[in-house]
Amino acid sequence: MPIQCLATIQFSSLQQLTHFDLDESLVDYIEGVYQFDLAALGPNISLFSDGFPAIMLMPDSSSSSVCQVGKQQVELGSIWLSAGIVKNATWTPNIEHGLLTIVRFYPHAWSSLMGRNAIQNPFVHDLFHYAPTLADDLKKMYLSSTITEGLQETLKNWIKKRMQKHVPRAVQSQVYKKEWCVLAYHSSNQELHPKQIQRQFKKYIGLAPYQYLQLQRFIKAFFLMTSSIEWNLHSIAVQCNYYDANHVVKDFKKYLGYSPRHFFQNKLQQ
């Protein structure tokens, strides 16, 4: 999903987000439903993932876009999916205005819904190719006055058909925490042994705890840079628990393909 959106979801208050209250029957499977203004994202948008699959619904059914994932180009329609750890990916939509609707799933719930095909290279897909039945159902949203009208009902019906094994809500809420220092939280929780934390992370998030923390650390660094016109790499490294500023630069190149300075200079020129 667009890294600006992910950083905002992870580190902004709910008051700063356009989000929707979930139906009780969806909270075991969906982390949240959000909307973002495409105009605020720019024409060439870097994608990133914290391991949580996300479905993106464009403002209208005729929307299309292209995603460059490394050397591979992926054609995308009005509804597309990001599932898996996305690196060096740039998304270019054919429209610059309107609201982008994002549905974020819990990794284990998505795997239960989709089975062996839950995560596929290159981790960005047109939903009509990846899950045509779901895409056809979601496309009906464009006939409503707003995309979000009836969205949760459509998702409920689809999940009911697909789900064969229930994911206990208590386990999901224990494992998933928005705070990037999630392991510190669990370390102080006497109810969970470190080995149990590792097993649950791998099972329900799809990542080892240290991998999850690395992704959260980078998202936080990105968020801090976008939140201030003047930022200092050394200060950000300290705030985000990086070893030094060079480590921050290394992660930027690893995940986005550019150094921080080069990345934000390109954004200013767009």
- Please check whether residues 148 and 180 belong to one and the same domain: no
Average per-residue pLDDT for the chain: 84
- Confidence tier at 188 by pLDDT (50, 70, 90): very low
The pLDDT of 40-47, averaged and rounded, is: 91
Indicate if the pLDDT at residue 174 is higher than 50: no
Looking at the structure, tell me whether residues 72 and 14 fall in a common domain.
yes
**Shared-domain flag, residues 152 and 173:** no
The CATH number linked to 210 is: 1.10.10.60
193-238: pLDDT as tens digits: 667 767 767 766 777 778 888 998 999 999 999 888 778 999 999 9
Which domain covers residue 204, as residue numbers?
A: 168-270
Do residues 99 and 194 share a domain?
no
Residue 243: which pLDDT band, with cuts at 50, 70 and 90?
A: very high
Identify the band that residue 267 occupies on the pLDDT scale cut at 50, 70 and 90.
low
User: DSSP string spanning the chain?
Assistant: -BHHHHHHHHHS-GGGSEEEPPPGGGTTTEEEEEEEEGGGT-SSEEE--SS--EEEE-SSTT--EEEEETTEEEEE-SEEEE-S---SEEEEES--SSEEEEEEEPHHHHHHHHGGGSS-TTSEEEHHHH-HHHHHHHHGGGGSSSTTTTHHHHHHHHHHHH--S---HHHHHHH--SSTTHHHHHHT-TTS-HHHHHHHHHHHTSS-HHHHHHHHHHHHHHHHHHT-SS--HHHHHHHTT-SSHHHHHHHHHHHHSS-HHHHHHHHHH-
The verdict on 155 and 191 lying in the same domain is no
